[in-house]
Amino acid sequence: MKNKNIVVTGREVKLHPDEQIISKTDLAGRLTYANRAFMRVADYAEPDLLGVQHNIVRHPDMPRGVYQMMWETLKAGNEFFGFVKNLTANGDHYWVFANVTPDRDLGGEPVGYYSVRRIPSVRGVQVASALYAEMVAAERQAGPARAMEASRALLAQRLGGESYERFVLALQLG
């Protein structure tokens, strides 16, 4: 969680059925664009978001291992899909199904990242919530130096050889 002064409430905010959260960041993850849906759901005004690290909405229930996997995927030039639990400015949370894609200039060089988040499937949230709780527990038990390694190992074990992308897409589309 980026802002340590926010108290987690346990209350969930929902996206409207036809709503998508859209944002863009630079290569360092600083927000360069946030649409109105993002501002509404996350409860931030535009000046509070632009130029700030996207992890301002990171919820403490999200395993570090998932973010490590996301950054590896993006830095390899590929798009990332996943279920994400985010934190609002007032401590509420919201679940999304995220698609994050490298944003490229006309010459094909990466200039940042483009993210579209939509309503997640109920089943996806149920499964991701339980899995992420196990991963966060493994991270805490392993300690900071080995947290991501422990988290990723647990995820690999639970997926039994299936890729995370196939796993989450099946939960979202299935």
Overall domain count for the chain: 1
Residue 1 in domain: no
| Nearest in space to 37 (alpha carbons), one of 21, 58, 25, 24 | 21
Half-sphere exposure of 147 (CA within 13 A, CB side): 14
The CATH number covering residue 101 comes to 3.30.450.20
Residue 124 in domain: yes
Place 174 in a pLDDT band, splitting at 50, 70 and 90. Answer: confident
Residue 152 in domain: yes
| Nearest in space to 116 (alpha carbons), one of 99, 104, 139 | 99
Query: Angle, to 10 degrees, between the axis of helix 147-159 and the axis of helix 122-142?
Result: 140
Q: For residue 21, give the amino acid letter.
A: I
Residue 12 in domain: no
pLDDT at 5: 80
- The pTM score is 0.94
Asked if residues 100 and 21 have their Cβ atoms less than 8 Å apart, the reply is no
Residue 110 in domain: yes
Structure tokens at 157: 């074990």
Residue 55 in domain: yes
pLDDT tens digit string along 48-68?
999 999 999 999 999 999 999
Q: How far is CA 90 from the centre of its chain?
A: 18
Give me the residue label for tokens 């805490």: 140
Identify the domain containing residue 151 by its residue range: 21-173
